[in-house]
Amino acid sequence: MSNTQTIWYNMLKMDDFIPPKKNKHNDEHCWLCGGKLNENSWAIKDAITSSFTDVSLAKNNASNSVCCACVALMKKEAWYEACEKHSNSPYFPIKEGKKPYLANWVFFSHIFNDNKWVIPTRAELEQCLLNPPQPPFSIVITETGKKHLIFKSNISLSRDHFFVQLEEQSINVHLDDFKKLHSTVKEAYNLGFSKDSILTGHYNYSTVLKIGFKIWQDIENKLKKVRNTNKKLLSLSCFVVQKET
Ligand SMILES: [Zn+2]
């Protein structure tokens, strides 16, 4: 099973997402994920719209067919079905006096594991990264809410060493390293340094003076190492870090 198939069938426990027309092609493997096809595969032209820009990521260019899981994890109709099954609202938060507006996979971050699907807030993402769910699981985080990311994500099999799909980046997370880094980031953020300065190393001088040169230097020495060796991990930490209340 491919990663999308694992998410759709094993984690979301969904059935085949049936194509509008029978696929006439006789392919064995999915164009996008490379996973095995069953009798309900989709023809590419029915499955993929012209707005799909990640053609170069297709695992099996020789195929003219896409599996139900890959299609489902991109289509609104399947989003709706999965929301119904898992008691998530398929709509954007409803504003008073406005009609409900149907959302889709791309607008949200996702945490999938066995029969569980969470659409997390950033605070929930922070908790999830510090205390990962029972494997196998998949964590997909969007910053822009604009692109299909689920098919790019990896399945994690360990809580100590796992993957996070942060927008286009696949990040390898060693839990101990992340915890250590994140406590420094959290300290810096709560002292008043901006996320941007933590990420780039370009600090506002008056903030440094206000907080104290020695404190800043201790923090920056730790951050600098990671900024130079594992910028992805630092960007993940900055994305989810919360102010202590
Ligand atoms: Zn597929």
Reported as a single tens digit per residue, the pLDDT across 219-238 is 999 999 999 999 999 999 99
Same domain (yes/no): 10, 43: yes
Counting the structural domains of the chain, the total is 3
**Domain's final residue, options 143, 172, 201:** 172
Q: How far is the C-alpha of 199 from the C-alpha of 39, rounded, in Å?
A: 48
Reported as a pLDDT band with limits 50, 70 and 90, residue 33 is very high
The answer to whether residue 30 scores a pLDDT higher than 90 is yes
Alpha carbons 86 and 125: distance in angstroms, whole number: 19
Alpha-carbon span 236 to 179, nearest angstrom: 12
Q: How many angstroms is it from 19 CA to the middle of ligand 1?
A: 13
Give yes or no: residues 184 and 160 share one domain. Answer: no
Average of per-residue pLDDT values in the chain: 96
Return the DSSP state at 105: G
What is the torsional sign of CA 154, 157, 163, 167? positive
- pTM, two decimal places: 0.95
| Contact (CB, 8 A) for 167 and 147 | yes
Where in the sequence is the domain holding 191, given as residue range(s)? Answer: 176-240
pLDDT (tens digit per residue) in 49-71: 888 889 999 999 999 999 999 99
CA of 60 to the centre of ligand 1 (A): 10
- What mean pLDDT is predicted for residues 157-183? 98
What average pLDDT does range 168-189 have in this prediction? 98
Mean pLDDT of 104-111: 97
Report how far ligand 1's centroid is from the alpha carbon of 167 (Å): 20
CA 48 – CA 51 distance, rounded (Å): 8
Residue 92 maps to a domain: no
Domain stop point among 32, 62, 78: 78
Q: How far does residue 125's CA lie from ligand 1's centre (Å)?
A: 27
Do 197 and 147 reside in the same domain of the chain?
no
* Statement to judge: residues 61 and 111 lie in one domain: no
Distance 109 CA to ligand 1 centre (A): 20
Same domain? 20 vs 73: yes
Q: What pLDDT, on the 0 to 100 scale, is given for residue 50?
A: 83
Q: How far apart are CA 155 and CA 136, in angstroms?
A: 6
Distance 115 CA to ligand 1 centre (A): 20
Q: Is residue 23 part of a domain?
A: yes
- Residue 97's pLDDT band, with cuts at 50, 70 and 90, is confident
Q: In the 8-state DSSP scheme, what is residue 140?
A: E
